[in-house]
Structure 1
Amino acid sequence: MRHVGAGDLSTVVRDARAGDERAWAVLVDEYGPRLRAIARRFRIPPDQVGDLLQATWLQLFNGIDRLQCPEAVGSWLAVTMRRFCLHAVAGENRECPTTGLDEWLAQPGEAPEAGLLRAEQAASVRRALARLPERQRRLLWQMATDPDARYTELSARLDMPVGAIGPTRARALGRLRRLLLDDERATHYAWPARR
């Protein structure tokens, strides 16, 4: 099996969106072993791993049209699998959840592990934001804390030309995405699989 490059991955995800079975097979071949390794780290019993894998792939199948960055499909799958594993470890429901992950995470009385996962994700975002150039970091902060602000307001606050806001935002989000993917890969390869 060859590794799918970022350019090829965009094509594979696009083809999977269109219902191409070969594209789905490529995704399963590429990411299936990684998802199984996540289940091993959580010490999920072998008889449950298949259900969690199926639920993860089903989430992607149902949400692939909303995936904004095809290159992030691997990270999206890993986070989704971790969430299902956390749910399984918590023992709240031995059956695979059928609702969307957002609905599941919003349910009262969630497992403490879910909070830890969110804290881990927030820390990862903070680390990535800290690595952005100050101009990009300030712009993203202003847009996150005041999402209704007009470009003219942001321009005045940040002493940035109105015409530079969109391109700066795009560069900042692209760089942030790459930093988060790098962090995800580093975390994935740093954790040895449990036996």
Structure 2
Amino acid sequence: MARRPARSRAGEQLLAALGPLLAAEAAAEAHAAGLDPADLEQGVWLRLLERIATEGPPTRPAGWAAWLRAAVRAEARGERRRARREVPYDTADGGPAHPAAPEVERLAERADELRRVRAAVRRLPGRCPRVLLAMMSTKDATYREIAGELGISQGSLGPVRSRCLGCLRRMLMAEVAAPEPWGRER
């Protein structure tokens, strides 16, 4: 049998001495940081190999245990920082690349829809824009408060609102069903 070089044996001894400690430290730190323990462990092994390449094999593996703990924490911090900063360019299903994108997209669509409805309400004739915009207000006012603000009786606010909504509905239906140029429908 061929004898292994001393450097190989030192690496195996280091692996045997620090492996269980690294696995335990990586598992504890990874779960607290929301990372994969195996990825964290692999990153620390790379740091350890880089250190061995520059400083040589350790003379006392026990002295490296403190370094190992610090390296696990530093690697976890780095991974958390990268996870916050890095956003993939594309996903496999063609969906948004950022996990918050569906929420942001939904909020943007809702804001655009609300803007279009408010623009349509402003085009209504008579007192309908004032009535419907007061009803759409974010103040969450009662019928009594809205009627007082508009200067109409509380009892007539409901029928006026109903007529205004009917007018808005007819106007929007005409816009949606409007034919394209040259009489073609969509």
TM-score range, shorter chain: 0.3 to 0.5
Q: TM-score, normalised by structure 2?
A: 0.37
Greater Rg over alpha carbons, structure? 2
TM-score by length of 1: 0.36
The structure, 1 or 2, with the larger RCO (C-alpha pairs under 8 Å, 6+ apart) is 1
